[in-house]
Amino acid sequence: MEPDPDPGPEDGAASPESLHFHGDEEIIEVVELGSGPPDPDDLAQEMDGVDFEEDEEQEGEGADEAWGDETDEGVVGGMESPDDSEVTFAHHSASVFCVSLDPKTNTLAVTGGEDDKAFVWRLSDGELLLECPGHKDSVTCAGFSHDSALVATGDMSGLLKVWQVDTKEEVWSFEVGDLEWMEWHPRAPVLLAGTADGNTWMWKVPSGDCKTFQGPSCPATCGRVLPDGRKAVVGYEDGTVRIWDLKQGSPVHVLKGADGHQGPLTCVAANLDGSLILTGSVDCQAKLVNVATGKVVGVFRPDAVGPQPNPGEDEESESNSVESLGFCNVMPLAAVGYLDGTLAIYDLSTQSLRHRCQHQSGIVQLLWEEGAAVVYTCSLDGAVRLWDARTGRLLNDYRGHTAEILDFALSKDASLVVTTSGDHKAKVFCVQRPDR
């Protein structure tokens, strides 16, 4: 199910210089990319030495250091609960909402919480490396730039801040409307964010050159930059989906009505080459979209997952929604996680349900391993679970939190899972897999 490739300039990877930005009062002229992949040397010269090639994976510093001692963790109200974690980060004083790992080495984490604080800390021993001060509302978004040089934090009120990781200096800040989501560009020091007024913002950091993408007059509830770096998919509260051309500043496709959703978007995901996207909504549907044509090529509904509700159960069934979704990199599979605790594994080639993996509580988020057909889920019962998508079998589960897990991240080699929770803690789990 591969779409026709976009012609001409869509073939290469986007750089910040190929994206139109505007300053306070003036339009900044940019260099147009020619057809075909740009020459790396030309790009490097245009960007004053910024490297757009994927950084080579490096061995993580501190990876072989001793793990922290957890003898005092997992004791709540005088009753000991199991704790499978290796390291606990306990500097937050309220629920921890978000976590991201640095993509270059996977040795650092950034977490943000209800205590209006964000911290950068080391995975191997939980040592605090940088406190990110200045927020006056819950920090709900945090992440590292593609080269791990910068870390961004965003709070609910719309205050965004960026720090240089090595010098620990704040290099940029900006205030927008109420923040819905935030994400770094996959190839450049460019930050995107969606807000409750329907706008999607894009900045070059730290220069602050800015561009806005105006959506409908309702929140831009979720967004994702596609792998080519040239487009972004944004979902909205009114059920519409827009695929934006980041250079032109205009929507390439708008999905609405029957092609859109009947409720607010909750999540979006793209496959490895960016040819397909999945959109999820509180309407309990996940839609498969061809990026090149903007056509919906598949719809996954909950009636194909679980039994139909009995009369009188409508209120409970209406509370269900798609919470997370994603594509497998190594097989034509997709996973959809629902608030009712169902993990559905779909075969994209036949668009049929392959496995139904039931949790006892709602799924918060799911992630695929980069190089295997293994899905990780975190849920409201405070556990992380590993599922074999080929068989639907539970491979392992990890516990240690005393409240719901609110976010999690997976290292590239799938050796570590980092979780955040309503118990005010972040934890690092060392993944054990029988097949390796």
- H/E segment holding residue 276: strand 276-281
C-beta of residue 56 within 8 angstroms of C-beta of residue 373: no
Write down the domain spans for the chain. 82-214, 217-301, 320-403
Q: What is the pLDDT of residue 436?
A: 57
Options 2.60.120.200, 2.40.10.480, 2.40.40.20, 3.40.50.1370; CATH for 217-301 is 2.40.10.480
pTM exceeds 0.95, yes or no: no
Residue 67 per-residue DSSP state: P
Kindly state the tokens that stand for 409: 């991240």
Fold of 320-403: Thrombin, subunit H (2.40.10)
Q: How many CA atoms lie within 13 A of 159 on its CB side?
A: 13
Kindly state the tokens that stand for 158: 């719309």
Tell me whether the CATH fold assigned to 217-301 matches the one assigned to 320-403: yes
First to last CA, the chain: 32
C-beta of residue 399 within 8 angstroms of C-beta of residue 83: yes
Residues 6+ apart with CB under 8 A from 67: 86, 87, 124, 125, 428, 430
* Integer angstrom CA distances of residue 377 from 144, 342, 415: 22, 10, 15
Q: What is the DSSP pairing of strand 199-204 with strand 190-195?
A: antiparallel
- Count Cβ atoms below 10 Å from residue 329 Cβ, excluding itself: 15
CATH of domain 82-214: 2.130.10.10
Q: What is the pLDDT of residue 19?
A: 64
- H/E segment holding residue 233: strand 231-236
Nearest Cα neighbor of 3 from 231, 265, 268, 159 is 231
Distance between CA 331 and CA 347 in Å, rounded? 9
Instruction: Give me the tens of pLDDT residue by residue for the chain, a chain 436 residues long.
Output: 444 444 444 445 555 555 656 544 333 333 333 334 444 344 334 334 434 334 434 434 443 333 344 434 433 333 347 999 999 999 999 999 999 999 999 999 999 999 999 999 999 999 999 999 999 999 999 999 999 999 999 999 999 999 999 999 999 999 999 999 999 999 999 999 999 999 999 999 999 999 999 999 999 999 999 999 999 999 999 999 999 999 999 999 999 999 999 999 999 999 999 999 999 999 999 999 999 999 999 999 877 554 444 444 444 445 899 999 999 999 999 999 999 999 999 999 999 999 999 999 999 999 999 999 999 999 999 999 999 999 999 999 999 999 999 999 999 999 999 999 999 999 999 997 666 5
- Count Cβ atoms below 10 Å from residue 434 Cβ, excluding itself: 6
Q: What is the pLDDT of residue 310?
A: 44
Q: What is the pLDDT of residue 319?
A: 82
DSSP letters, 305-358, are TSPPPPTT-HHHHHT--EEEEEE-SSSSEEEEEETTSEEEEEETTTTEEEEEEE
Nearest Cα neighbor of 417 from 362, 364, 376 is 376
Nearest Cα neighbor of 432 from 401, 400, 404, 398 is 398
Distance between CA 30 and CA 9 in Å, rounded? 15
Kindly state the tokens that stand for 103: 């993509």
Query: Sign of torsion, CA 21 27 29 33?
Result: positive
Nearest Cα neighbor of 143 from 107, 96, 204, 101 is 101
C-beta of residue 333 within 8 angstroms of C-beta of residue 348: yes
Q: What is the pLDDT of residue 303?
A: 72
